[in-house]
Amino acid sequence: MQRALTISGTFVFEGNVRYILQSSQGFAGGTPPGATPITSAPPLRMPTVYAEPANVNRSALREIVDYAWILPGVSDGGAHTKFFTGGRYPTEFLSRIVREEQMCSLEHAHWRLSTLPAHCAGFRDRGTLVEGAPADVVVYDFDALAALPTEVVHDLPGGEWRRVQRARGYRFVLVNGAVTIEDDRETATHSGRLLRHGAMH
């Protein structure tokens, strides 16, 4: 039995075939119903799987957020700098999941964005504000917090470009006690250091 999907956005496939998908019902393969081809090319000769992102389905998103041990984040490690900006997830989690959707308390969100990741990575002296620990602190305006539109910058070697997405509402970000962001702007201070699993400060 096939499940109906709602898919939005632009998808580019091999063979220079591009479809703009507005909405689709369940299907087994071939061109999805509701897809509008905008270039001509030979048909794909490979199995294709279409999936619905959890963040466009509110009930699916709530089910994920309700799981106590879920880690907010992305998994590509910055490998796709031309396609998306995954680093916005802390801002989105606080502004959308907590403030707008009220799916999680602010206290629990802080635990998920700091203490839990540090624990999972084996960083025993990170993720909590306690005396004697490194001062990694974020000070923000909860009501003003927002991810801004994506921008293109040409700051890679050879003038290559990448996508960036800035945020607003951040008063200070401190790393090891030094201010690295003030009023949403970088301060050119690089006070972080490489951490390895289980390492203490």
Per-residue pLDDT tens over the stretch 129-181: 999 999 999 999 999 999 999 999 999 999 999 989 999 999 999 999 999 99
Do residue 45 and residue 81 come from a single domain?
A: no
Do residue 18 and residue 108 come from a single domain?
A: no
Domain of 4? 1-52
Beta bridge partners of 80: none
Alpha-carbon gap, residue 59 to 133, rounded angstroms: 38
Residue labelled with tokens 């951040």: 170
Alpha-carbon gap, residue 73 to 164, rounded angstroms: 16
Position 30 in a domain: yes
Position 198 in a domain: no
**Ranges in the chain, pLDDT < 70:** 1-55, 75-78, 198-201
Q: Report which DSSP code applies to 86.
A: G
- 160-169 tens-digit pLDDT: 999 899 999 9
What are the b/e assignments for 42-59, b being 16+ CB within 10 Å?
A: eeeeeeeeeeeeeeeeee
